Structure 1
Amino acid sequence: MNEIFTGVGVALVTLFTDDGEVDVDATTELAAKIVGEGVTSVVVGGTTGEASALTSAERAELVRSIKSAVSVPVISGTGAASGRQAAVQTRDSVAAGADAVLVLSPPRVADPTAYYQTVATELDGTPMLAYHFPAVSAPGIDIGLLQGLPIVGLKDSTGDARRLLQTMESFDGAIYSGASPLTLYAGALGLPGMILAVANCRPAEAVAAFNGDVSAQRALTEADRIASGEFPTGIKALTAEAFGTSAAARLGH
């Protein structure tokens, strides 16, 4: 198993100024604070980071800045609707110093093998995680296809405990869950780690829950309930309460 990190990673929000520009300095400062709470990886420009509203250059600038500020792996979210788009974003992120890329499967594609093969041409040795999240990009990735993809691991944000077990049985790559209600469960199963949106606002609780703390898991699940009400304003509001950051969003504006 090729683990990129172990423990809890944060699916980092992207902070914006009031006029909608990416606030690189503030986002970098937030990442450093979260890492200071025990988080062991930072995902930049992923779904929680409003990926579809970022340019490839903006994502690369965030990767470069955050990479210089933290001592944990920085993973760039480079998924797109086509392999060509995702490959360009991957190339730019790799050049900026990303330790790995997280690539959301494309929409309306039953077999994304060709898509991931196209992205792989720009990896230059950088490890790639596939991302299964059909609520955002359906249909996602069939478990039976995983072993044939040019990936070292998978992030699964479905929250489907049965699928998680089935994936563990048939796929020998590293598996990371993105479903915060399963954090304690995933730790008990022996998964290498989590990649969580709620780690933006509850990083210490996320780490504790993964390590078996039931009270922390309850707090994490409640934060997830609040944050999931409206995206991305829910998670940004909770993060603003926790760290005094801007709650401004670019999606929908």
Structure 2
Amino acid sequence: MVTQPLWTGPAVALVNLFDHDGAVEAKRTADHAARLVAAGIRGVVVNGSTGEAAALTDAERVELVAAVRQACPAVPVIAGASGEWWRPAADRAAAAVRAGADAVLVAPPRLGGSLTGYYGRVSEAAAGVPVLAYHYPPVAGGPVPVDALSGLGVAGIKDSSADPARLGHELGLGGPLAVYTGASALLGYASWLGAAGAIVAAANLVPEECLAAWDRDAAAQHAVLRAERESKALPGGLKQALAARYGTSPVRRLGG
């Protein structure tokens, strides 16, 4: 358990880029991450839901973590390492740490089971590197009950539920738990309430606005929401919007 957050403020839930044949573009993904860090983004989460982690091999996961780590030496790199049971989650956590991850983000197993045992084994495999729980059912595994958090031995939580009451409950637990919102609609609110930071997909597209929204700029918060709405209206969503802004590949493995 750490006593200080690994980072504060907005981090990006990074897209992973694929070429026209669907192969991983690790270098271009890392270059995109570096561009966002240069804009002020405080951390990079690789191989999460936004990165289409469910469609990646374990070797591709490692390649992407290593590439982003090399491209972004000045900020924490956090690797998604969820699994359907503790063994793949633990193996992915250990591999991510060897590849240079500063922390791992792990959703509970989709089919349930003992959360204490699951996170205990993942933490053991992570060998002292912080483990963040991930609450985003049913998109990423099962739920993380707020009342169970203090007994899991995790360093923090990413809560993508967009439930402001739940966020307040998590922050009310006190202690060293670092709470990160995964909901771009709650950037300013989470900052005001005292959250450690945020991990949001919108930071791929509008990093400066995400930073300003975290600093409670209402106009920036509206700009983030508008960018999200507009990208969701596109065929291919976020990746099409990124292609239009940055010239990156719009290819998806999931939903493509």
TM tier relative to shorter chain? over 0.9
Runs of 4+ in 1 over 4 A off after TM superposition: 228-231
Shift, 1:225, TM fit: 2.4
Q: Is 2:207 aligned against 1:203?
A: yes
* Offset of residue 95 of structure 1: 0.5
The alpha carbon displacement at 1:218 in A equals 0.2
- 1:1-16 superposed matches below 5 A: 1-16=3-18
What CA distance in whole angstroms lies between the structure 2 residues aligned with 1:166 and 1:225? Answer: 28
- CA deviation after TM superposition for structure 1 residue 230, in Å: 7.9
**Amino acid corresponding to residue 134 of structure 2 in structure 1:** Y
Instruction: Give the CA deviation at 1:112.
Output: 2.0
Shift of 1:224: 2.1
- Kindly provide the CA deviation profile for residues 188-218 of structure 1, in whole angstroms up to 9, marking residues without a partner as x: 1121110000100010100000011111100
| Cα drift, residue 2 of structure 1 | 2.8
Q: 1:100 to 1:185 in 2, by over 3 A?
A: same
Task: Tell me which residue corresponds to 1:118.
Answer: 121
Distance 1:68 1:47, change over 3 A: same
1:242 is paired with a residue whose SS is: helix
Q: Is the 8 A contact 2:213 2:221 kept in 1?
A: yes
Whichever residue aligns with residue 211 of structure 2, its letter is: V
**Does structure 1 conserve the Cα–Cα contact (< 8 Å) formed by 2:158 and 2:180?**
yes
Q: Which runs of 5+ in 2 are unaligned?
A: none
Identical pairs, percent: 43
Residue 244 of structure 1: aligned partner: 247
Alignment partner, residue 216 of structure 1: 220
Q: Is the 8 A contact 1:110 1:139 kept in 2?
A: no
Q: 1:17 aligns with which of 14, 19, 32?
A: 19
Cross-structure match for 1:51: 53
CA distance in 1, matches of 2:91, 2:77: 18
- Counterpart of 2:178 (choices 167, 174, 180) is 174
* Distance (whole Å) between structure 2 residues aligned to residue 102 and residue 118 of structure 1: 14
1:14 CA drift (Å): 0.2
Stretch moving more, 152-161 or 103-112 = 103-112
Describe how 1:28-43 pairs up with structure 2 within 5 A: 28-43=30-45
Instruction: Give deviations 1:75-120, integer Å, cap 9, x for gaps.
Output: 0000111111111111110110100001112213165222212212
Superposition deviation, residue 228 in structure 1: 4.3
Paired residues of 1:64 and 1:96 also in contact (CA < 8 A) = yes
CA gap of 1:29–1:81, structure 2 versus 1, over 3 A, is: same
Quick one: distance in 1 between partners of 2:194 and 2:172?
13
Please report the RMSD computed on the Cα atoms of aligned residues, expressed in angstroms. 1.6
What pairs up with 1:145-160 in 2 under 5 angstroms?
A: 145-160=148-163
* CA gap 1:87/1:138 in 2 versus in 1, 3 angstroms: closer
Structure 1, gaps ≥5 residues long: none
Please state how far the C-alpha of 1:11 moved relative to its aligned partner. Answer: 0.3
Distance in 1 separating the partners of 2:180 and 2:167: 9
C-alpha deviation, 1:137, in angstroms: 3.6
1:102 to 100, 105, 110: 105
1:154-208, Cα deviation, whole Å (9 max, x unpaired): 0000000000011111253000000000011111112111000010001010000
Match of 1:130 in 2: 133
The superposition leaves residues 48-74 of structure 1 with CA deviations (integer Å, 9 ceiling, x where unpaired) of 000101112111111111111111100
How far apart are residue 242 of structure 1 and its match?
2.0
CA distance in 1, matches of 2:246, 2:192: 30
